[in-house]
Structure 1
Amino acid sequence: MNIKESIVTKNPCYTCGRTITVQGLMIHSVGCPQPKASVFFNNWNKSSANVCVHAVLQADGTVLQLLPWNRRGWHCGSGSKGSGNNTHIGVETTEPDTIKYTGGSSFKDFNPAATKDFVTKTYKTAVELFAYLCKKYNLNPEKDGVIISHSEGHKRGIASNHGDVEHIWNKYGLTMAQFRKDIKKAMNGSTAAQAPDKKQETTTGTGGYLVKITAGILNVRKGPGTSYPVSTQVHAGEVYTIVGEEMNGSTKWGKLKSGAGYISLGYTKKV
């Protein structure tokens, strides 16, 4: 997971400055064949926009954060039917361009294998983000009403009448009940650790742990040391998942879950 802040500073949800006491998290699906989160930033970073979620997720693990987590969003309706805006963080999952909507929540799937792959990858990103937010706000994902979909919010009378995310998740064997269990597992896994192996590498459990980059620009190297070539770069404020640690001299290197390589953990902070 890679959290990138891209705050919609022109959106009324941001400019009004209204905050909430976070009591839960609501997951949505964008309802159109659009895999790029940046499209929603462009649509909602306007003074004329009347909606906004806190973040949009991509299949590649990117989380585009559009609002501060405790800012009141407008993601589940208006008036009394949208009262979930006052209590829940709203997160959208992008959808693949291999589908075409035919009306309401019905759609045609032109490449079932690719669609399933996309949906399961955004699901995985959602699990990681929700585990992070549950830890941040001390939420129990298995407690009633904490983790809900837009459609579940409607049944509770706190959201408008939408069918997401079940309209697309259920077609690929994904359920909200399993989602809540997987979030709980990810929260537990983030603190698990195993003994180092002979290479002095420490694995950090299935879930790993999250770090925020504190350096302006930090090189990602193909191995745990400055002698290895640079594969890419990360930037201040971005959040990444570390799944392994290895010492090289006095420097501790973290293995990125994305597979991009290693970063020096001296330029990061655990979150």
Structure 2
Amino acid sequence: MKLVQSILTKNDCYKSGRKITVKGLMLHSVGCPQSNASVFVKNWNRSDLEACVHGFIDGNTGTVYQTLPWNHRGWHAGGAANNTHIGVEMCEPACIKYTSGANFTCSDLTTAKAVAKRTYEAAVELFASLCKQYGLDPMKDGVIISHREGCARGLASNHGDPEHLWNQLGTGYTMNGFRKAVQADMKGGGVTTTPNAEKPTTGGTGATVKPYLVRVTIPDLYIRKGPGTNYGKNGFIKPGVYTIVEERTGAGASKWGKLKSGAGWISLDYAKKA
């Protein structure tokens, strides 16, 4: 996880200088088709905006931009959670278009899911780090909540994020799964993007196949040590054409391919046959 400090020193929330005793973390998504976090950092660094969060997660890179000191009282929840919770916004895919309320259409589901996956993984790592820093138990009731859950508890304004995004894109992500993923990451289990934070299997189901070529087009696809997101990372694979020699089905019915080079496994959900 890459973290960049971009404190919004011109925002009135920062200028107010109020501090909180951190008791929890609230997960948001921005509610508009913008995947570039730097746009929000730039537009929110002014004095006439009555909103401020502790960080934004970039949808293109997964980079976290910290915009308030973590123990600073933010203006993110629209309710009492401002007094207790750190608020972090995940950027949303640029290829969605809101039609009414929290409903949207999507012109490129593959790209949209990749953005959601990237921000989910970064949020897991960030929340695991913050839980360690503030001695928080991610599985304790009310510690990690979404904006939607905050609303249901009477602690936040009437928003449906980020579940509205995950559900309509068909990602399978849930807040229960997210909390379990944070817990696993705190224990050194690595980031998972599966809905229920399953542990690694012995390799999933699959078989050796006749070697074939796939084309990778996204710049930040992880190479994994095994066929699943619970396995360790061997860095990124560069865009290009690669040979697959084995296929396996991982948790959540995800498809994985073993690279002929021996570097590891890649998700075939983000690669196309060449």
TM-score over 0.5 for the pair:
yes
| Distance apart, 1:206 and its partner CA | 3.4
Give 1:27's aligned residue: 27
1:228-243 equivalence runs, <5 A: none
| Distance apart, 1:257 and its partner CA | 7.3
| Distance apart, 1:44 and its partner CA | 1.2
Matched to 2:33, the amino acid is: P
1:88-127 equivalence runs, <5 A: 88-127=85-124
Give 1:246's aligned residue: none
Q: How far apart in 1 are the matches of 2:235 and 2:134?
A: 25
- Which runs of no fewer than 5 residues in structure 1 stay unpaired? 190-204, 208-255, 261-271
86 and 156 in structure 1: CA distance in 2 versus 1, 3 angstrom threshold? same
Q: How far apart in 2 are the matches of 1:35 and 1:257?
A: 25
Give 1:206's aligned residue: 190
- Partner SS, residue 102 of structure 1: strand
1:94-243 equivalence runs, <5 A: 94-170=91-167, 171-189=170-188, 206=190
| 8 Å contact kept, 1:43–1:49 | no
Give 1:62's aligned residue: 63
Q: How far apart in 2 are the matches of 1:16 and 1:122?
A: 29
- Partner SS, residue 26 of structure 1: strand
Q: How far apart in 2 are the matches of 1:84 and 1:118?
A: 27
Q: Give deviations 1:34-84, integer Å, cap 9, x for gaps.
A: 01111111121111111010000023120000000000000011xxxx110
Q: How far apart in 1 are the matches of 2:120 and 2:154?
A: 25
Q: How many residues align?
A: 195
| 8 Å contact kept, 1:95–1:118 | yes
- Partner SS, residue 187 of structure 2: helix
Q: How far apart in 2 are the matches of 1:10 and 1:183?
A: 32
- Partner SS, residue 172 of structure 1: coil
Q: How far apart in 2 are the matches of 1:17 and 1:160?
A: 23
Q: How far apart in 2 are the matches of 1:34 and 1:168?
A: 13
Q: How far apart in 1 are the matches of 2:182 and 2:125?
A: 7
1:44 has 2:52 as partner: no
Higher relative contact order (CA 8 A, sep 6+): 1
Q: Give deviations 1:215-271, integer Å, cap 9, x for gaps.
A: xxxxxxxxxxxxxxxxxxxxxxxxxxxxxxxxxxxxxxxxx97659xxxxxxxxxxx
Structure 1: which 4+ aligned runs deviate by more than 4 Å? 256-260
Give 1:75's aligned residue: 76
| Distance apart, 1:103 and its partner CA | 1.1
Q: How far apart in 2 are the matches of 1:98 and 1:64?
A: 22
Q: Give deviations 1:167-203, integer Å, cap 9, x for gaps.
A: 01123110000000000000001xxxxxxxxxxxxxx
Q: How far apart in 2 are the matches of 1:206 and 1:176?
A: 17
| 8 Å contact kept, 2:184–2:190 | no
Q: How far apart in 2 are the matches of 1:148 and 1:257?
A: 31
- Partner SS, residue 89 of structure 1: strand
Q: How far apart in 2 are the matches of 1:258 and 1:187?
A: 21
Percent sequence identity over matched residues?
57
Matched to 1:120, the amino acid is: K
Q: How far apart in 1 are the matches of 2:135 and 2:37?
A: 27
- Which runs of no fewer than 5 residues in structure 2 stay unpaired? 192-232, 238-274
Q: How far apart in 2 are the matches of 1:257 and 1:4?
A: 23
Q: How far apart in 1 are the matches of 2:234 and 2:178?
A: 20
